[in-house]
Amino acid sequence: MAHAYTPGLRIMTETLVSKERLLPLPGEVLVRVGERVQSDTPIARADLPGDIVTVNVVNLLGIPAEDIRNYMLKGEGDSIEEGEMIAENKPLIKWFRTQVRAPADGTIESVSDVTGQVLIRKPPRRVELSAFIDGEVTGVLEGQGAVIETVATLVQGIFGIGGERNGAITTVVESPEEALTEARVRPEHAGKILVGGSLVEWPALKKAVEVGARGVIAGGFHSRHIREWLGYEIGVAITGDEAVETTLILTEGFGKITMARRTFDLLRSCEGRKASITGRTQIRAGVMRPEVIIPREKERTGVSDRLEARGGMKEGDEVRVIREPYFGRLGRVHALNPQPAEIETEARVRVMEVELGDGEVVTVPRANVELINA
């Protein structure tokens, strides 16, 4: 039987989740192998170099660049405080004296007698890396970070906005067809991760942000509201670094799309349990999916082997179409055609037949679908 090797969207009741947590630059690892950690446990830290501030001393003093060192009161490597005098001229009449003061705390990094500028390096910024998920440290990468593993329920979405968050799963609708409305969001949802159905309405998302919800998971969201939310057009390459306090994860796509029953039921079965979520999404090379990770508080098992040994798609497998004109539609593999076929763009590609939920059978390129692993 033919197989299609296509990236799968994971929806797993129980699987082994492994996260490699790395600092952006070399630093200090704070944990050891075998240690149990919580999502907010610091596992590594590093000091990021401070920003550079440029002071054009020669323009301020009206002197030649080659003479700058004769007027400096501080030298390279000296620590300074904001407002501290770093240079001055020496006129015959003291009322004409000009002083140059430091615009920020830091260290004088360089004094140039070519440009006449002084570079001040602001103090370093400490970056602390957390574990993100509750689990066990199974590996330490010296000076870089650690590997955290946990047995968990795992749900991947199709698109997300916002970074890493933690909170208790709270289902706020009755069915996967129901939209999450503003009236469903209440003050007691502060710190929670809200599960909606087919759509999170724009007023509901604003209310969730207002009350302090840590995340919202729903089938869909109208893309026209993203600019209104963020204040700018979002890029298509990668998301997850947006300056938002509430992470949004869409399990199906844009618009009102019923959340897959399996996804909804799985999330609802985890009611009240602590989850770690991230909206980071990359839809091109090196695909990354937004994730909901809900640790099961068990010893590690071989459950993830079921996923890794899966191979590829076969007839009858559940899939989701990830390109127009059937974007977000769920269905099952009806047939895997072995020969390339010509599509609307006149390109010849490998295709498959997908039976959609309403019984319609459509032909789509294999690259336009993803397997729903469960």
What gap in Å lies between CA 102 and CA 339, rounded to an integer? Answer: 71
Domain with CATH 3.50.30 in the chain: 158-289
Whole-number pLDDT of residue 235: 66
Is beta strand 106-111 parallel, antiparallel or unpaired with respect to 99-101?
unpaired
Where are the strands (E) in 84-223, listed by range? 85-88, 99-101, 106-111, 117-121, 125-130, 135-141, 145-156, 159-161, 165-171, 179-180, 192-195, 199-200, 215-221
Per-residue pLDDT, 300: 47
How far apart CA 186 and CA 204 sit, in angstroms, is: 10
Residue type, 46: A
Residue 61 dihedral angles phi and psi, to the nearest 5°: -95, -15
Judge contact between 195 and 176, C-beta under 8 A: no
Q: Does domain 158-289 have CATH number 3.40.50?
A: no
| Residue ranges of the chain assigned to CATH 2.40.50 | 52-121
pTM: predicted TM-score of the whole model, two decimal places: 0.75
pLDDT given for residue 310 in this prediction:
41
Write out residues in the chain with pLDDT < 50, as ranges. 1-6, 299-311
CA 213 to chain centre: 17
Residue range(s) occupied by CATH 2.30.30.30 in the chain: 313-373
Q: What share of the chain is helix, strand, coil (3-state, %, to 5)?
A: 15, 40, 45
What are the Cα distances from residue 258, in Å, to 204, 269, 326? 17, 18, 14
> At residue 181, what is the residue type?
T
In the numeric block, which tokens belong to residue 254?
A: 């844009």
Assess contact for 240 and 280: CB atoms under 8 A. Answer: yes
Tell me which fold the domain 52-121 belongs to: OB fold (Dihydrolipoamide Acetyltransferase, E2P) (2.40.50)
Q: How many CB atoms lie within 10 A of CB 40?
A: 10
pLDDT digits (tens, 9 = 90+) for 198-245: 999 999 999 999 999 999 999 999 989 999 999 888 865 688 889 999
On whether the CB atoms of residues 160 and 73 are closer than 8 A, the answer is no
pLDDT tens digit sequence for 54-87: 999 999 998 999 999 999 999 999 999 999 999 9
Topology of domain 313-373, CATH: SH3 type barrels. (2.30.30)
Distance CA 30, CA 199 (A): 41
92: exposed, middle or buried (Cβ count in 10 Å: 0-12, 13-18, 19+): exposed
How is residue 335 written in tokens?
């047939």
The residue type at 116: G
